[in-house]
Chain A
Amino acid sequence: MPKVLMIHPDRCTGCQNCELACSFSHENQFRPTATRVHVYSWEREGFSVPMMCQQCDSASCMKVCPTGALHRAKGTTLVEYSREKCIGCRMCTIACPFGNAVYDSVTESILKCDTCGGDPACVQFCPSQALEFVDDNISTRSRKRELAGKFKSAFEGA
């Protein structure tokens, strides 16, 4: 069963531990521009959202990549990045509708979430379970269940 990185923005406290874990796990140092996950915060409302590559089924980045540096192995969910094939054209950064692929001038490569080889560091370091690495269908179900619960409350109250 393939796994996905599930985001729960309502649990996010804006602490950016995910960003720190990401940059550290890739480079053994804390470089803010090395993180593949970014947390956006709105101070007035007190709301934060972590954003990273969604590993789209129909990935725009893969479609525009002229060399196949961005590719997916059959039967897997991960959109992989092969640095050696990359020519640094940055077409993927334009194509991604979420802005989740970025070009890093320090390493001269594209940064996008690689799920840390199947054990995401961000998930390990998030203190609030705002990021989870879960089987594809369970995560979908849990959100449905939460919303279904609202119907239950509405009908119980009537």
Chain B
Amino acid sequence: MNGWSGTILRVNLTTGAVSRQATDLKDAALYIGARGLGDKLYIDEVDPKVDPLSPDNKIVFAPGPFSGTFAPSGGRYHVVTKGPLTDAIAGSNSGGSFGPELHYAGYDALIVEGKADEPVYLWIKDDVVEIRKASHIWGKWVPDTTDLVRAETDLEAKVACIGPAGEKQVLFAAIMNEMHRAAGRSGVGAVMGSKNLKAIAVVGTKAIKVANPKAFKDAVLVGRKKIKEHPVGGAGLKAYGTDVLVNILNQIGSFPTNNFQDGYSPTADKVGGESLSANQLVRAKGCFSCVISCGRVSKVKEPKYAGEGEGPEYEAAWSMGPDCGIDNLDAITHSNHLCNELGMDPISFGSTLACAMEMFEAGIITTKDTDGQDLRFGNADTLVELTRKTGLREGIGNKLALGSYRLANSYGHPEYSMTVKKQEMPAYDPRGVQGIGLQYATCNRGGCHVKGYTIAVEVLGCGAKLDPHVTTDKPFWVKLFQDLTAAIDASGGCIFGTFGMGGENYAAMLSALTGVTYTPEDYLKAGERIWNLERMFNLEAGLTSKDDVLPLRMTKLPIKTGPSKGELSHVPEMLPEYYKLRGWDEEGVPTKERLHDLQLA
């Protein structure tokens, strides 16, 4: 078999049973792998109404066919489950090298079900799979967990694990791999914690076969060249990291500040990529098979916030920075290191803190609730202290650990939560950038930018130059980005590869690798199929078109200052056209015709 390995591994933590099944090749061809195949396996087996933190939930870890080959920046894997933060389908994507190693071990997916009586970790070495005791590691932070597990298994093992945040079921806990890479959003780490699964260690030695080696190599060389010649993929991301976006978004006035109360910060430059490169950056880092190297190895020398690790990315620098009114990049970088070490999503954490800060300034949360901690916007010490407390669920951190929706709701003021489907919106103000607002509203996993990154055309001018303030054609572009991203996610590719490559490059590589012919249209259609499969799951889980909305503030409170002053989001006006393009009815339900066309019914 080429590309795919042909085997799916299943571990039942309740019974201790380890079993294997053959990968259904028809499904593999239709859903490709990683996100797609992971979705298919998960959705076929799990009741959409399942409680995400119950033993009845399952969690799937799946590499793509690219993962472990030299498809450029093609070494990713996907975690699929139901998100405890969102009560919707959760799909978190991570780089590093864990995914390729799982593929080398001979698996297209690992399905974990049930719950262990006591903390355990999985040790997978090709065909040998052990469930080992992990009580002595429970409580350890991510770096120590990684080292301890490797010491007991193999020094070169790749380890995916949870930190205290996942163990304590912080609703936005992440699953970390290679210490600093994250399957970050929607609380997938909490699902692992709810199963008493502390870590998965893998060593793989099997070969990934290639159907047409010459054609694959040629397609890869074409893809690499395109990325190298692209200003973003070829140089920009390596030099400055994603954090260079701070100044860009700020200069167009769509950089959300103080919990989305405004869209512009006069001191944003202090937390941008230029500052990071000058002050905290040690060197660039790349994930497995990556040619872009956007990763930031970082170190803070300021004694108060000293430490080393990776990041911050744009999203983290924003959420724990100007979204909380903070512009101290040392403090932000330190908090980012803490988020990685504790194993939690900095986007949801920062935005939840921002929500708490706004409620504190409004007198809704008081110092009585916070054990005397001052939660006003701008307090960098509070940021660092509460990062730790939230990961450990101590004091007010225990409430922050629920995410901003449940936090604000518990005080009777859900309107302070900047979430969609209970997941915090990322660092692009939907009032100033219309298309990304539609992406936030319609993304299957809630407030998310990365699954439909129209910023590339609305702000960055990559491939097309769209006016961010207008709604014209945005539904078309949002659907296109969502579908293409789903196919790339399913292949095991990093979406930064699109700074250079297009659908035709991905389709050519996938065809040569697997021996299954994908035209660019087939490739995009696979993405659309995956999108609709996820949508159907969400509808059966109880979500409706009423959940395809932004927080009221986005359509009612105009941006106050800066270049996008006065702008509001127009998502409700774009939604009907979006549903129509998707082949859904007015309630956002996929029609039988569209499902049939996608081979979903």
Contact = CB atoms under 8 A, between A and B. Distances in A.
Interface of A: 10, 13-17, 20-21, 24, 27-34, 41, 43-47, 125, 127-128
Contacts of B581: none
16 contacts: A10-B283, A13-B286, A14-B286, A15-B288, A16-B97, A16-B288, A20-B70, A31-B207, A32-B68, A32-B204, A45-B297, A45-B308, A46-B282, A47-B283, A127-B292, A127-B293
Interface stretch (B208-216, B472-480, B501-509): B208-216
B207 A43 contact: no
Closest 6 A/B residue pairs (Cβ): A46-B297, A13-B286, A15-B286, A31-B207, A20-B70, A28-B213
B207 A15 contact: no
A27 B205 CA distance: 14
B21 to A, nearest CB: 24
Contact of B285 (A10, A21, A32, A46): A46
Contacts of A15: 286-291, 293
Contacts of A41: 178
A27 B310 CA distance: 35
Nearest to B178: A43
B283 A43 contact: no
Given A30-B68, A47-B283, 15 more contacts: A14-B285, A14-B286, A15-B291, A17-B290, A20-B69, A21-B70, A29-B210, A29-B213, A30-B207, A43-B143, A46-B282, A127-B286, A127-B290, A127-B293, A128-B293
A103 to B, nearest CB: 14
B325 interface: no
A30 B291 CA distance: 17
Interface in B268-299: 282-293, 295, 297
Given A28-B213, A43-B146, A46-B310, A20 B284 contact: no
Indicate the size class of the contact surface on chain B.
35 or more
Interface in B177-209: 178-180, 204-209
A15 to B, nearest CB: 4
B512 to A, nearest CB: 12
A24 B213 CA distance: 9
B69 A44 contact: no
B217 interface: yes
Nearest to B103: A30
B473 to A, nearest CB: 35
Contacts of B282: 46
A18 to B, nearest CB: 10
A20 B283 contact: no
B339 to A, nearest CB: 16
A30 B208 CA distance: 5
Contacts of B578: none
Given A24-B217, A32-B104, A46-B297, A13 B207 contact: no
Contacts of A28: 210, 213
A58 to B, nearest CB: 30
Contacts of B69: 20, 24, 30
Given A10-B283, A20-B69, A127-B291, A43 B180 contact: yes
Contacts of A34: 207
Most chain B CB atoms below 10 A, which of A29, A46, A47: A46
Interface in B225-269: 228
A142 B570 CA distance: 58
